[in-house]
Amino acid sequence: MARCDSYDPGQCTWGACELEPWCPEDLGNGGDWAADARSLGFTVTMIPTVGSICCYAAGDGYSLFGHVGVVEQVYADGTFLIREMNYVAAYEYDNRVSSMADVAGFILPPGVSPGAGGSGGSGGSGLAADPGASGMSSTWSAIQDYYNSTVGQQAASVANIAAELDAIK
């Protein structure tokens, strides 16, 4: 069996596997990758890290199967540049800036710490290189995770209720 044969050619999973030689086989659909990689002993974090594989949850955000791509760069505002296949079209790679919306986790390459940066991209986290930046990055990441998972959902619920009330009027 050739490398990455456990993934369908042209799909995001195949593309991520082709980009990252450390990527394990047989992780299933993109939405399953974070949990499946964790069960194989890989470190999965919610901190975007250069060279990691970003796993997006299955559902309305990307597809019923989830989505994956490789983090190329991380920006100070918490967004990150992702290289992915099958976002624009099958067999086609693209780069785009992503937020934490629908992220299920980042699979770290072996030996890489969260936020430290791996083999890909232009290096580092994209954050200031002073000693306090890594702690501040972790704090902001935790705040962003809370916002994305809780506050963002609550705001969407309030907006839906307001729209329903307007419809009743």
C-alpha of 116 from chain center: 16
Find tokens 């990455």 and name the residue: 4
Q: pTM of this prediction?
A: 0.70
10 CB contacts (<8 Å, ≥6 apart)?
85, 86, 90, 91
What pLDDT score was predicted for residue 160? 58
Question: Can you say how many angstroms the Cα of residue 46 is from the centroid of all Cα atoms in its chain?
Answer: 8
What stretch of H or E contains 95? strand 93-98
- So what's the pLDDT on residue 133? 44
> What DSSP line would sit under 3-36, residue for residue?
TTTTS-TTSHHHHHHHH-TTPPS---SGGGHHHH
Residue 168 banded pLDDT, cuts 50, 70, 90: confident
Among candidate residues 75, 62, 68, the one with its CA nearest the CA of residue 32 = 68
Query: pLDDT tens-digit profile of 56-81?
Result: 999 877 789 999 999 999 999 999 99
pLDDT band at 83 (very low <50, low <70, confident <90, very high): very high
Mean local confidence (pLDDT), 101-118 = 90
pLDDT digits (tens, 9 = 90+) for 116-157: 765 544 333 333 333 344 444 444 555 454 444 444 445 455
